[in-house]
Amino acid sequence: MNKNVYTLYLVTDRELMSCDTIEQSVEQAITGGATVVQLREKNATSREFYELAVRVKRITEPCQVPLIINDRIDICLAAGADGVHLGQKDIPCDAARRILGSEKIIGVSAATPEEAAKAQRDGADYLGVGAVFSTSTKTDTRPVTLEIIRKIRAAVTIPFVVIGGINSENIGILKGLGINGAAVVSAVVAQPDIEAAARKMRAAVEEII
């Protein structure tokens, strides 16, 4: 796998996207430079989520962009996605690893060095660290300071992306902290030109990692 796979980590959001479909937002973001896509669907039925995942995979796979499913291990397996992202309230990482095996990517959300270290011990491939800045896309986030990010970097060797209100203007403050990429939602999908926004965000991330 490309070592820079986590550089620009796109998280989908149908409520915020500026285009008509998730598929369009993903395709435009990948064209602009998104390196991994997390499909996040909180209100879809299992059938709807599965069918959408299959359609999105047809876009990501030819571009060699990993497709990560938020929360749902069953959808990941059924749709043949590349991996799953788990929150602290989801099924534990070690249990997910037993189900998914060694080939699938598992990401875990972490807001403390202790959570990060445990995720690594339990078999996580990467971490999502945040929320770094205030964000309207999730209401249950926990704030993460620059000092906590430093401590998380010292606590683990696996890659991590920062998430939470990140855009091309504020990401510069994170330079030198050892992050591997940035996970973004509104900074890309909510913009009038998703492709251009992704290109701008990708360049901003590459300047600091």
Taking the chain, what is the end-to-end CA distance rounded to the nearest angstrom? 18
Mean pLDDT score across all residues of the chain:
95
Residue 85 φ/ψ, nearest 5 degrees: -115, 130
Mean pLDDT of 74-91: 98
Distance CA 142, CA 94 (A): 23
Reported confidence tier of residue 171, pLDDT bands at 50, 70, 90: very high
| CATH superfamily label, 8-206 | Aldolase class I (3.20.20.70)
Q: What confidence tens digit (pLDDT) does each residue in 47-62 have? A: 999 999 999 999 999 9
Q: In this predicted model, what pLDDT tens digit does every residue of 107-135 receive, in sequence order? A: 999 999 999 999 999 999 999 999 999 77
pTM for the full predicted model = 0.95
Question: Any idea where the domains of the chain sit in the sequence?
Answer: 8-206
Do you find a cis peptide bond into 131, omega within 30 degrees of 0? Answer: yes
Cβ neighbour number for residue 209 with a 10 Å cutoff:
18
pLDDT of residue 4: 77
pLDDT at 3 over 60: no
**Does pLDDT of 2 surpass 50?**
no
